[in-house]
Copies of this chain bind each other. A is one copy, B any other.
């Protein structure tokens, strides 16, 4: 171990010291490599004594199977590729966390590829890189609205799960139930006596945004309410703030449903700045239930998405597909729930 600091210690040039291989273990235990392989893979047809000898040799030498060789041999890597559109989205990050936990629990690791844009070339480039990396399956965590199906079609027969609200992929799809959540939020506000509900939506290219928007509109129409023009944001708090400034200037606005918590935060700030009290004059409801939402001022009423659950469902489906059990390409929707806090109140 280098004595840390300075003296750019001529570290004994990290010699590409050969790792302990099966052959080494075999020699140490006095058996053949194949027997070591059998022990490593938990085969039953090995004499208990022999097995123990091999296990001892393994731990003495610090043997770890070389997964490159294993993958080359078997075509399996016990690795899952995840393609994400950067990590900026709060929800996707939590989903990724759940994916990673589930994968680890099943003995898989995660190979993460982020793409700068959801463009065709970026995504197919990511596919190609994953193919090189001998992953056993792929999770796509992107808003894929702008990608035609053909562009998503994989050249290889790899199992794929898409975490997205779109239907009609030839893959399994898992997502939070956006429509149900948006309806929950909208009806909550109507139930409080508001005549209608304004909507700050996510960007046009997002499927999730589209579903929330459609469900909001449907909920209003079902109750015979006027449907105000939608306000198009881009998920950021800044866009919420900008839109909020316009809404605050309109005295008719008494209830706003923002398509995520960040935009709700921006909207609330705009109302604060305009001197319109929340929730006394205007109610605001968000979507996501990020950890901070309970500490917004006022604490935010919002729709809780269960991202962890989505990640678990996606990984479970993918692993089932990889390991050959069940290959339904189903669409799984994880229900959301409304969390009522202080940013929404009865129409004055």
Q: In the assembled complex, which residues on chain B have CB atoms less than 8 Å from the CB atom of A6?
A: 167, 328-331
Q: In the assembled complex, which residues on chain B have CB atoms less than 8 Å from the CB atom of A100?
A: 87, 112-114
Q: In the assembled complex, which residues on chain B have CB atoms less than 8 Å from the CB atom of A297?
A: 268-269, 272, 296-297
Q: Is A223 an interface residue (CB 8 A)?
A: no
Task: For the complex, give the distance between the alpha carbons of A22 and B170 in Å.
Answer: 30
Q: In the assembled complex, which residues on chain B have CB atoms less than 8 Å from the CB atom of A117?
A: none
Question: Which of A1-29 touch B at CB < 8 Å?
Answer: 1-6, 8-9, 11, 14-17, 19
Task: Knowing A112-B112, A113-B100, A329-B8, say if A17 contacts B64 (CB, 8 Å).
Answer: no
Task: For the complex, give the distance between the alpha carbons of A27 and B77 in Å.
Answer: 27
A8 in contact with B328 (CB, 8 Å): yes
Q: Is A93 an interface residue (CB 8 A)?
A: yes
Q: Is A327 an interface residue (CB 8 A)?
A: yes
Q: In the assembled complex, which residues on chain B have CB atoms less than 8 Å from the CB atom of A4?
A: 168-170, 329-333
User: CB < 8 Å: which of B68, B72, B110, B167 contacts A3?
Assistant: B167
Tell me the minimal C-beta distance from A121 to chain B in angstroms. Answer: 13
B104 in contact with A114 (CB, 8 Å): yes
Tell me the minimal C-beta distance from A124 to chain B in angstroms. Answer: 12
Of the candidate stretches A45-53, A152-160, A198-206, A224-232, the one touching chain B is A152-160
Q: Is A97 an interface residue (CB 8 A)?
A: yes
A112 in contact with B109 (CB, 8 Å): yes
A116 in contact with B101 (CB, 8 Å): yes
B292 in contact with A75 (CB, 8 Å): no
Task: Knowing A272-B297, A294-B237, say if A110 contacts B109 (CB, 8 Å).
Answer: no
Q: A2-B170, A6-B330, A272-B297 are in contact. List 16 more A-B contacts (CB 8 A).
A: A5-B330, A6-B167, A8-B330, A65-B132, A67-B132, A68-B72, A69-B72, A79-B111, A82-B112, A87-B97, A100-B114, A104-B114, A110-B111, A237-B295, A238-B295, A269-B296
B-binding residues in A (CB < 8 A): 1-6, 8-9, 11, 14-17, 19, 62, 64-69, 71-72, 75, 77, 79, 82, 86-88, 93-94, 96-97, 100-101, 104, 109-114, 116, 128-129, 131-134, 153, 155-159, 167-170, 179, 211, 236-238, 240-241, 262, 265-266, 268-269, 272, 291-292, 294-297, 299, 327-333
